[in-house]
Structure 1
């Protein structure tokens, strides 16, 4: 397993946000974290990246305890795409090159540049390499931010609502980009999502949060009408449209 979480708990002051969080993830797996607003999804992601320090529990990546590593060492192992980011007047190439920062000692090497070229090619961003981020569409910017995280060469990729404020076409393209990266680079991805149907289309594992803890975790077998109704408080049916599972509220 590339990622192993055991007994993680987190509180804001005396308010418990996460309790007894436990799951594992292997390379090549795409995990969607689902649940109502305020369920602790983004907080869990920040705990995994050591942005927030859990009150208790362990977070292991490739057997190493993240909580015992400094932020530079964490950045060499985990790529993080936040919910919000600043675009700024920086070119696409330079933005992706920033992903190499945790690995650069004195100066950028030919190997660093080669990694950037490879990531730009992988995500279809070569034609944008000399354009500024603030000249791109929202979907194109999101791909660049993902490319920057991939340039870190992480074992685990964390994304916090990567499709928020994107149209349907860009939602599909961004999540397909993540799915392809997981498969082609043998990563593990943990993605906070609100859209259950997008999660069903792209993820292969699902973690349902309710009342600060895990209500269910596993493959498609946990995405049942009963579980979804219990977590979201809305009766649903789970059907298939042209082979794709979809959730329809009743």
Structure 2
């Protein structure tokens, strides 16, 4: 098991935000966290990354307790892509190279440079290497941020709404990249998502959050009209079109 979360709870200004959160993610899995706005999805992701410190509970990566590791050691194991990020006057290559920072002691080694080149090649971004971030489209910039996280060689990749503000083509491209990284690099990927149809198309497992607690956790068997209606407050049906599950509000 790559990631084990057990009894995690987080309180902000005496208000419970997360209560008794427990789940596991295997190597090669894409695990989707779903729920309404304010359910605690982004807070949970920040607890997993030690940006926020849970009041109780344990988070294990390959049986190592995250709370015993320093920030550099955490960054070697966890890649994190936030909802919002700043673009600057960096080239794409230099921006992705920043992902090697947790591994670099004095200066970038030939191995660091090769890892960046390999990541850019895998993502089909070699032609963008010398472009500046502020010259990129939203979809291109999102791929750069994911490439930087992958350059860290993380064991767990965390993404907070990676497809928000992207058009349909880029939504699919970004999630295909993430899915491929999970399988080929044998890492665990945890993604906060809003779009149920994208989640069901790409994720292996799901966590339905409601009011800071787990409503359901598992595979496609939990993505029922009854569960979705209970979590989102909308009556839906789940149909299959060309073998692909689709949520249709009623």
Per-residue deviation at 1:13? Answer: 1.4
Equivalent residue number for residue 125 of structure 2: 125
Equivalent residue number for residue 83 of structure 1: 83
Per-residue deviation at 1:215? Answer: 0.4
Equivalent residue number for residue 139 of structure 1: 139
Equivalent residue number for residue 249 of structure 1: 249
Equivalent residue number for residue 96 of structure 2: 96
Per-residue deviation at 1:137? Answer: 0.6
The answer on whether the counterparts of 2:155 and 2:188 sit within 8 Å (CA) in structure 1 is yes
Q: How far apart, in 1, do the equivalents of 2:67 and 2:246 lie?
A: 38
Per-residue deviation at 1:239? Answer: 0.5
Per-residue deviation at 1:106? Answer: 1.2
Equivalent residue number for residue 165 of structure 1: 165
Mapping 1:1-250, distance limit 5 Å: 1-250=1-250
Per-residue deviation at 1:68? Answer: 1.5
Q: How far apart, in 2, do the equivalents of 1:11 and 1:171 lie?
A: 33
Per-residue deviation at 1:184? Answer: 1.0
Q: How far apart, in 2, do the equivalents of 1:182 and 1:21 lie?
A: 23
Q: How far apart, in 1, do the equivalents of 2:201 and 2:135 lie?
A: 30
Per-residue deviation at 1:143? Answer: 0.3
3-state DSSP of counterpart to 2:27: coil
The answer on whether the counterparts of 2:38 and 2:211 sit within 8 Å (CA) in structure 1 is no
Per-residue deviation at 1:212? Answer: 1.0
Instruction: Give every structure 1 segment of 4 or more consecutive aligned residues whose post-TM-superposition deviation is greater than 3 Å.
Output: none
Per-residue deviation at 1:159? Answer: 0.2
Q: How far apart, in 1, do the equivalents of 2:134 and 2:247 lie?
A: 36
Residues 64-96 of structure 1 show CA distances to partners (whole Å, capped at 9, x for unaligned) of 111111111100000000000001010000000
Cα RMSD, aligned residues only: 0.5
- Length, aligned pairs only: 250
Q: How far apart, in 1, do the equivalents of 2:80 and 2:175 lie?
A: 15
Q: How far apart, in 2, do the equivalents of 1:61 and 1:27 lie?
A: 11
Q: How far apart, in 2, do the equivalents of 1:70 and 1:83 lie?
A: 24
Residues 38-71 of structure 1 show CA distances to partners (whole Å, capped at 9, x for unaligned) of 0000000000000000010000001111111111
TM-score (norm 1): 0.99
3-state DSSP of counterpart to 1:76: helix
Q: How far apart, in 2, do the equivalents of 1:217 and 1:209 lie?
A: 9
Per-residue deviation at 1:166? Answer: 0.7
Residues 114-171 of structure 1 show CA distances to partners (whole Å, capped at 9, x for unaligned) of 1001100111110000000111110000000000000000000000000111111111
